[in-house]
Amino acid sequence: MTNPAVCIKSLVMSEANFTNQTIWTGDNLPIMRGMNTGCIDLIYLDPPFNSNTNYAAPIGSQAAGAEFKDTWTLQDVDIAWLDLIEAKHPRLNKVIDAALTSSDKSYLIYMAVRLLEMKRLLKRTGSIYLHCDPTMSHWLKLLLDCIFGKKQFRNEIVWCYHGPGSPKMRQFNRKHDIIFWYSVGETWTFNHDEIRVPYKDPNQRPRKAFDTGNAFNQNEIEKLRKRGKIPETWWQYRVAVRSKKERVGYPTQKPLALLHRIILACSNSGGVVFDPFCGCATTLVAADGLSRRWVGIDISPTAVRLVRERLRDGSTEGEYKDQWRNVIARNDIPERTDIGVILPYNHKDNKRSLFALQEGVCNGCSENYQFKDFHIDHIIDRKSGGTDHLSNLQLLCGHCNSVKGDRGMEYLIAKLAA
Ligand SMILES: C[S@@+](CC[C@H](N)C(=O)[O-])C[C@H]1O[C@@H](n2cnc3c(N)ncnc32)[C@H](O)[C@@H]1O
Ligand SMILES: [Zn+2]
């Protein structure tokens, strides 16, 4: 059975179809589906971790009312996504299939469809940083290997911190997060001079000096030493809740310094930074302060309110105070402008193309029908960000079409199997 599902082939760069400094409130999947291909330089995402916790900000804090669910059941995910993965990404499907519990499985489906969209949004020279913790990091790395390719794995960064939490008497205290960095292609931005740190150990010499043995020039070593070194893959930053200056009370707020390093390393001034789970907008604040363009999405309306408050209230980040004036808050699904002229979905030309593509076979029951007996159907429905573009359309026979209605393909497949 051919399934012309969403086409993720093209990685060509295009113009963004949104304005700099936009924050969307809503589920990031349909919104990302409406964003143009190849218009982002750097993505940082800090999604829910599948930690079996419901996070809520304390009443009275700046973030009061912000909460998000981090527990997963198969009802949380649209099984049509799994259908899409099965049809188009068999290796990814194998990884998801290997999940040990149905909660893990639903979490991985949820993440996989979003990571596929993120890859489409990135420029060829772009990078993605996925922030997670040991709850699901091993699974997420497999997803990233499948989607971006093992060769595109750049670093696993371990962010170590001290923080509140009850000490454990039978095991070590878990006090680190993991951040995976993958590049899209063979060349990527890495501004090593922007992120150098001083040599701590006075006996540690710059590598170049080692390489040249005893014949090194003292001045050159001094120069190199002053330049500092490229940091290791373990980073130590204070958690945001411990910083009076930064904390806004958002349950999972990340420190600005962490984002500064990532953004400085992997994007250039004027580049576009995107955070699809932007929370209280730490990434966006950091990007703004470093003269990057930025865009963010969060499902919680509290996040947008918080962003506005951070804008108004210079006390949280004095140096960024005035930069929030132009924030554009949206909750619509953007219309892609990079997929050429889109015919009305039920245009005869679409029907002809699909008939040829499916070789006269119904995408539901796999039976042959005559041209006149087919109906054009949206694979991803419009309210979920599915476009009228050919890549999102399929032909169904009259029977399959009426059984499916406007439900997902999984419903039709289950019905047909029964
Ligand atoms: C771990 S927090 C991000 C914290 C952020 N890095 C910061 O420093 O504030 C995860 C965020 O993802 C948001 N979220 C959860 N599911 C989402 C979805 N489907 N689309 C967009 N945002 C979502 C939650 O509301 C929450 O703010
Ligand atoms: Zn049929």
* pLDDT, averaged across the chain: 83
Ligand 1 binding pocket includes 282 (Cβ within 6 Å)? yes
Overall fold of domain 22-195+230-330: Rossmann fold (3.40.50)
Percentage of the chain exceeding pLDDT 70: 80
* Category of 153 on φ-ψ map: left (φ > 0), alpha (ψ -120 to 50) or beta: beta
Segment 270-282 shows an average pLDDT of 95
Predicted confidence band at 216 (pLDDT cuts at 50, 70, 90)?
low
d(CA 93, CA 333): 28
DSSP 316-370: TSGGGGGGGTT-EEE-SPPPPSSS-PPPPTT-HHHHHHHHHHTTTB-TTT--B--
Q: What are phi and psi of 375, to 5 degrees?
A: -120, 145
Mutate to test the pocket of ligand 1, among 22, 49, 68 (most ligand atoms within 8 A of CB): 68
Q: Please, how many CA atoms are within 13 Å of residue 244, restricted to the half-sphere of its CB? A: 0
pLDDT in the model for residue 192: 96
**Residue type (1 letter), 349:** D
The string of pLDDT tens digits covering residues 312-328 is 664 344 444 454 457 88
Q: Find the 408 Cα to ligand 2 centroid distance in Å.
A: 15
d(CA 7, CA 32): 14
Among residues 190, 173, 270, the alpha carbon closest in space to that of 231 is found at 190
All structural domains of the chain with their residue ranges = 22-195+230-330, 348-417
The second-level CATH assignment, the architecture, of 348-417 is Orthogonal Bundle (1.10)
Among residues 46, 65, 61, the alpha carbon closest in space to that of 248 is found at 61
The residue with tokens 């169904």 is: 396
Give the number of the atom of ligand 1 that is nearest the alpha carbon of residue 27. Answer: 20
Which ligand has its closest atom nearest to the C-alpha of 110?
1
pTM of the model: 0.81
pLDDT at 14 over 80: no
Q: CA 382, 387, 389, 393: dihedral to nearest 10 degrees?
A: -40
Ligand 1 binding pocket includes 130 (Cβ within 6 Å)? no
